[in-house]
Amino acid sequence: MDASVKKIIRETLPVLVVTTMGGITAGIFLENVKHDMIVKIPGLLILLPAILGNRGNIAGALGSRLSSALHLGLIDAELKWNKMLSDNLYATIILNIAVSLLLGTLAWCAYEMAGFPGEASIIKLTLIALIAGTLAGVLLALLTILLAIYTSSKGMDPDNILMPLVSTVGDIATIICLIGAVWFVEFMI
């Protein structure tokens, strides 16, 4: 077996084991959430898969850009803030806000077009999506930056580690942020 293949397997396999356990943890956490909290807001189950997918997609794209920048030497493998990191963080935050607003609106539209019983509120769905998506997105962006620099500084290839790890942490963080946003919107507003 080629040395590069061995390196990819050595770096990726432990991460995939951890992310598998993380995915199961996210599912258990979601299963244990009070079902009345989820069904209390019509359209929330339409929003959930979309917001989960988009957090991982946005953070994954950031990880890919950072990994490429590290390989090209545009970012040092040490935590020195520079314009490239700032620009990537800023763009990621803007994407998270814009996509969260869009997801809330689209979840409401899908709910209305499907003709489900009950009344979904576009304000509630959009606000929940905005709060959960933005908070989880910022947390994931910061984690992605730290992981990219850390893995590279340890001589590992960030491409082997970032995407699976960020996606799984993104699922867990997004579920927690979504539950927090539901609680905030339902009980504080």
CATH code at 63?
A: 1.10.357.20
Structural domain contains residue 72: yes
Structural domain contains residue 22: no
Number of domains within the chain: 1
Q: How far is CA 172 from CA 5, 175, 178, 184, in A?
A: 30, 5, 10, 18
Structural domain contains residue 99: yes
- pLDDT per residue as tens, the chain (189 positions): 788 888 888 888 888 898 888 888 877 877 777 666 666 788 888 898 899 888 888 998 999 999 999 988 888 877 778 888 899 999 999 999 999 999 999 999 999 998 887 777 899 999 999 999 999 999 999 999 999 999 999 989 998 888 888 988 888 899 889 989 998 998 877
Structural domain contains residue 163: yes
Q: Which amino acid is at 186?
A: E
User: What pLDDT shows up at residue 127?
Assistant: 95
Residue 102 tokens read as 């869009």
pTM of the predicted model, to two decimals?
0.86
Return the beta strands (E) in 13-129 as ranges: none
